[in-house]
A and B are shown apart, each in its own frame.
Chain A
């Protein structure tokens, strides 16, 4: 009798408790680490997940899709093939992307993090929204070489994806909007804001910069920050930095999108966060080391078409020691917490 009473009592309490729960949070909650992040002092992001509500199931679907080779024409290449977690989602040791049928692409796979602040995507800025970004590489004949509808058919036929779509969206229908929103959620939640530089700026854990790093930071502010602007380390502008046009790729850059002569050979300013991990460098991956990059900036050939005005005077006035100090500073931009974050690694391994 007593037991029954207790059970009844508990049931009653539970009933009241469930009544009190806000209907908004009855849905499975993220475990607390899948949340939108806007670090102190950063601008407001362009993408806010307002129409793509964050959930663990959507994130899990996005993660599965990011590493899914069925997204390519011959099931051989996934997003993760060229965007590797240990390289801050750039492509280690690949100047340009290696696509289906042994094709080589014509640009270097950019790193992925803090994408919610990007007003546009790709080196030429041709893609205007994080959700439609995957269309670029998926349909590029040199990269994943697929059409979106055959990809949808393949996913719809897979019991694994039927289950993942059902969990994420409430029904097992695969469509392009669901696919892209799930991938956008996965990529958009890749935040990098915990480098040594960040701890130093936030005065956390007593982190101090070394002499070289500190000198490098001052040199960085004087010479680099105009384009690679803190705290995102990019102004998201399009610039020609004076690396001569590759006669092989003949890539006109931003002009490929706008058709404007004043945009020829301009490319989107990449973030320098995690830069020590994202070699090779430049839009066509022509430099293998940061030393080569700094050597270029210290000696830019003048009078090139559309060369950025800040680099007209033979580039930046940097001594050999300055360059080493700047590299010491750039090394403080590596976010080991982000690089080791298992939520973003391939779930198949």
Chain B
């Protein structure tokens, strides 16, 4: 009897230890390896007329000469790629950022896991790639609850600016630009690529470089398409299509590179 018990106990022990081995223990590393990656920050500073910081509810004049204010500004920046001096690249994973001027923290992006190196340029897309537009319910900045997804005609609103203009014929003289459309001739994603000229961004254990970009909202109303807030489709543009493309062609040169802080 006693021996059965002993055998069973042994059996049990082996059983448990076998289990332990099967578990994927996060083997405690004796030493943490030296970090090889750091952080790169990208600041989006919002302007009007190239020189004045954009603020909500302030009166500005657009290229046509019409007064307007801004009450909401949200847009997506995605697919961030930075290029090293040797032309190899680092691509941010899950690279989707919703910039919302009402939440200043969102205007400063932190790109993590960037290998220590010297980087000479950055590229990104204003908007969201077509795959993400067709992949169902998303989380994080792409969540359908962010107010940037059309409910009746699936797809992201890539860029949203709302405000007022006294000459707008809409109720309460609002202007509303919800710019989207992810495929075909009228797609509204626009790519940007900036070289840092003589000052590369040096990501290291002691340096978190910050790339300073400016976003000039005046550009939305001019070049190549002069926007007239009295016109249909130009005080309110809420669907994908040719009307949206008009604004996308305008914001294609809205963002400029200023400098890199190392």
Contact = CB atoms under 8 A, between A and B. Distances in A.
A126 B4 CA distance: 71
Interface in B104-163: 133-139, 143-145, 147, 149, 151-155
A15 B20 CA distance: 11
A16 B15 contact: yes
B19 A177 contact: no
B21 to A, nearest CB: 9
B152 A131 contact: no
Contacts of A5: 1, 4-5, 8
A86 interface: no
A1 B3 CA distance: 12
B29 interface: no
A148 B5 contact: no
A19 B153 contact: no
Interface string A119-147: 00010001111111001101110000000
Contacts of A257: 153
Interface residues of A, number: 38
B1 A184 contact: no
B18 interface: yes
A2 B5 CA distance: 9
B188 to A, nearest CB: 15
A106 B144 CA distance: 24
Contact of B136 (A4, A11, A131): A131
B152 A176 contact: no
A181 B144 CA distance: 12
B136 A180 contact: yes
A126 B8 contact: no
Contacts of B154: 126-129, 132
B12 A176 contact: no
Contacts of B1: 1-2, 5
B137 A139 contact: no
A289 B204 CA distance: 73
Interface string A1-22: 1101100110110011011000
A8 B5 contact: yes
Interface string A163-185: 00000000000011101110010
B169 interface: no
A8 B9 contact: yes
A12 B8 contact: yes
B8 A175 contact: no
A180 B137 CA distance: 6
Band of interface residues on B:
20 to 34
Contacts, number: 95
Contacts of A122: 152
A158 interface: no
B139 A175 contact: yes
A294 interface: no
Given A19-B18, A130-B136, A140 B152 contact: yes
A54 to B, nearest CB: 15
Contacts of B241: 259
Nearest to A1: B1
Interface string A252-292: 00000101000000000000000000000000000000000
Contacts of B49: none
Contacts of B8: 5, 8-9, 12
A145 to B, nearest CB: 12
Contacts of A18: 19
Contact of B137 (A2, A16, A138, A177): A177
B11 interface: yes
Given A12-B8, A129-B136, A136 B19 contact: no
A337 B19 CA distance: 44
A128 B182 CA distance: 12
Contact of A128 (B11, B15, B134, B144): B134
Nearest to B10: A12
B15 A180 contact: no
B41 to A, nearest CB: 27
Contacts of A132: 136-137, 144, 149, 151, 154
A176 B143 CA distance: 7
A96 to B, nearest CB: 16
Interface in A68-126: 122, 126
B7 to A, nearest CB: 9
Interface of B: 1, 4-5, 8-9, 11-12, 15-16, 18-19, 22, 133-139, 143-145, 147, 149, 151-155, 239, 241
Given A128-B133, A131-B137, A132-B137, 5 more contacts: A8-B9, A12-B8, A19-B15, A175-B139, A180-B144
Interface of A: 1-2, 4-5, 8-9, 11-12, 15-16, 18-19, 51, 122, 126-132, 135-136, 138-140, 148-149, 152, 175-177, 179-181, 184, 257, 259
25 contacts: A2-B1, A5-B1, A8-B12, A16-B15, A19-B15, A19-B19, A122-B152, A127-B153, A127-B154, A128-B134, A129-B135, A129-B137, A131-B137, A132-B137, A132-B149, A136-B151, A138-B151, A140-B151, A140-B152, A149-B145, A177-B139, A177-B143, A180-B136, A181-B136, A184-B137
10 tightest A-B CB contacts, nearest first: A131-B136, A15-B15, A180-B137, A176-B145, A135-B151, A131-B137, A128-B154, A12-B12, A129-B136, A126-B153
